[in-house]
Amino acid sequence: MTLVQKRNPTTSLRKPTNSKLMERLDDIASPLIALLILLAIWQLLASIPGLTTLPTPVRVVQETWMPLIAYPFYDRGGTDKGLFWQVMSSLQRVAIGYSLAAVVGISLGILVGMNKRVSKSLDPIFQILRTVPPLAWVPIALAALQQNQPAALFVIFITAIWPILINTAVGVQQIPSDYNNVAKVLQLPKSEYFFKILFPAALPYIFTGLRISIGLAWLAIIAAEIVMSGIVGIGFFIWNAYQNSQISEIILALVYIGLVGWLLDKMMERLQTLILPSSQR
């Protein structure tokens, strides 16, 4: 009797939560299964003698376990540091270069968006410059700035700024004429117009630009660091590993880069949902 009494409410309560839980589990399980299958194929292909010199996933883990996977925080001075520090150094550069790109990009974008003449004159230049790949900026950055650190920052800046600038300008140009008419008829002071109408109206576009750019900035830093010898950073770590034929280390670094890039994008997405009111998403 007690069993029956106990079971009835629990089953009726659990049913909806159960199916939801199953759905969540499925969301995690499906990609996990796909990953396992891909790793198995890789393992199989890399095991065929004479096909490739790439290590199998099992060997990658075996070769990098000590100290890279096990001790991400080790620090033996110089560039010999754990992957956590390598990633952090790169992220620091991204933070500085990207923040600079955001500030300059949003400000210039607003100026360009507000003035038709300026927009018309500069838009073709922006459109051409934005297609220049990050690596192509590296030689000129090194030549102009002489040192690795500022050159790396410049490369991030110049890669990340275009989507922010262009999207902000479009956002300002796309402000509904109704909102501008309200500002005109009320004769709103410039600062009121900026903070109450222009900026909030352009904000969704600005966020689109910021989100595209964070991916580009991460892409740029890896590229920039690869050619800049002797610095701590995940990019140079890869190059260094290549020089020493440590292919397993390269593969491990790629996994880290992918995960960090994905996290950065998620972070921007989260920020977007936090700041933008639901009506504007």
Partner 1 sequence: MTTVTQDLQVSDSVNQVPFLVVDRVSKVYPTKDGDGYTVLKDVNLTVNQGEFICVIGHSGCGKSTLLNMVSGFSHPTDGEVRLQGKPIVKPGPDRMVVFQGYALLPWLSVFENVYLGVNSVYPQKSKAEKTRIVKEHLAMVGLADSMEKKPPQISGGMKQRVAIARALAIRPEVLILDEPFGALDAITKEELQEELLKIWNDHRCTVLMITHDIDEALFLADRLVMMTNGPAADIGEVLDIPFRRPRDRARIMEAPEYYQLRNYALDFLYNRFAHDDTE
The DSSP symbol for 195 reads I
Ramachandran quadrant class, 229 (left: phi over 0; alpha: psi -120 to 50; beta: rest)? beta
Q: Which of 126, 179, 215, 271 is the binder for partner 1 (CB under 8 A)?
A: 179
The DSSP symbol for 229 reads T
Min dist CB 115 to partner 1, Å, is 20
Residues 184-243 that bind partner 1 (CB under 8 A): 184-189, 192, 196-197, 200
Measured from the CB atom, is 160 or 175 closer to partner 1? Answer: 175
- 279 belongs to the binding site for partner 1 (CB under 8 A): yes
- 6 belongs to the binding site for partner 1 (CB under 8 A): no
Q: Which of 181, 229, 259, 270 is the binder for partner 1 (CB under 8 A)?
A: 181
CB 214 within 8 A of CB 205: no
CA–CA separation, 128 and 245 (whole Å): 38
Measured from the CB atom, is 96 or 201 closer to partner 1? Answer: 201
CA–CA separation, 55 and 153 (whole Å): 34
Q: Which of 17, 191, 243, 278 is the binder for partner 1 (CB under 8 A)?
A: 278
Q: What residues have CB less than 8 Å from 51, skipping those under 6 apart?
A: 45
Q: Which of 5, 9, 78, 178 is the binder for partner 1 (CB under 8 A)?
A: 178
CA–CA separation, 268 and 281 (whole Å): 13
**How big is the CA angle at 226 (ends 224 and 228), to the nearest 5 degrees?**
70
Candidate segments 57-65, 82-90, 113-121, 175-183, binder of partner 1 by CB under 8 A: 175-183
Measured from the CB atom, is 129 or 182 closer to partner 1? Answer: 182
Please give the residue ranges that form the binding site for partner 1 (CB under 8 A).
Answer: 176, 178-179, 181-182, 184-189, 192, 196-197, 200, 277-280
